[in-house]
Amino acid sequence: MAEELAPGDAVAGAVAEAGPRRVRLPSAERRRELIAIASDLFRRRGFHEVGMREIALAADIRAASLYHHFESKMDLLRAIVDTVSTDFINAHAAALDPGKSCTVQLRELLRLQILYLAANSDALFVADREIPSLPPAMRDEIQGRRRQYQHLIGEFIARGVEGGEFRVRDPRLAGIAVLDMVNGLNRWFHPEGESSIDEVADQYANMIVGEFLGADYVPRSRKRRPRPE
């Protein structure tokens, strides 16, 4: 399959083809690993400056093996965007307990989203910066999925307002603001900071449902991580 090679691809490709091979992983696990490696490279150097053979070199696999998982670099970018746009929804939204209050459900969903996005921070950064690089039809599809999730959050807030749990004038606008707050964490959080991601996830979720949305009941936050001596 032909593609336009980025600078350095010829050398990287030769090393990748000749180098040692890694232990074979299950296909789904290897795919996740490749997405993580490509996300790191795209974040540091930019989507257009990195070639498929360079990604294969970083993954220590043959270039042909990379094409077994992804048809093209664009297909790989699509998978990265999917990671933070739809995979989280599929993994967690369906597991919510409708028997619980909107406050408890929304808090737990936001906490899980923060943990998920922190674990996939490179993919989130790349998705936000590189989504304009996707073909229009693919970009529209991804944006549509994001709007579906935005609508899901807005529905939680609207039901909470109707049930007297939340106190906001515009649930739809509040939902947009909530997601902006959650996604913005990727711009400043550092795993070596004063608070762990679990602590930040609890505090963020508590502040959103308690202080921003006006819920009366907010579960207690985890204890803060002790500062190093």
- Greatest pairwise CA separation for the chain in angstroms: 65
b/e code 4-39 from CB counts within 10 Å (16+ = b) = eebeebeebbeebeeeeeeeeeeeeebbbebbbbbb
DSSP 137-188: HHHHHHHHHHHHHHHHHHHHHHHHHHTTS---S-HHHHHHHHHHHHHHGGGT
pLDDT in tens, 23-63: 444 478 889 899 999 999 999 999 999 999 999 999 999 98
Rounded-to-integer distance, Cα 174 and Cα 213, Å: 8
Model confidence band, residue 185 (pLDDT cutoffs 50, 70, 90): confident
Structural domain boundaries in the chain: 9-71, 82-212
Closest CA to 153 of 113, 122, 118: 113
**Structure tokens of 7?**
């600078």
Q: In this structure, which topology does domain 9-71 adopt according to CATH?
A: Arc Repressor Mutant, subunit A (1.10.10)
**82-212: CATH, from 3.30.70.260, 1.10.3720.10, 2.40.50.140, 1.10.357.10:** 1.10.357.10
b/e code 78-89 from CB counts within 10 Å (16+ = b) = bbbbbbbbbbbb
> Taking the model in full, what pTM does it have?
0.73
- Whole-number pLDDT of residue 193: 77
pLDDT in tens, 124-181: 899 889 988 889 998 898 888 888 888 888 988 999 999 999 999 999 999 999 999 9
Query: Which residue is listed with tokens 């939204």?
Result: 93
Q: Cβ atoms within 10 A of the Cβ of 115, count? A: 16
**Structure tokens of 67?**
């094409």
Q: Do the Cβ atoms of 212 and 174 come closer than 8 Å? A: yes
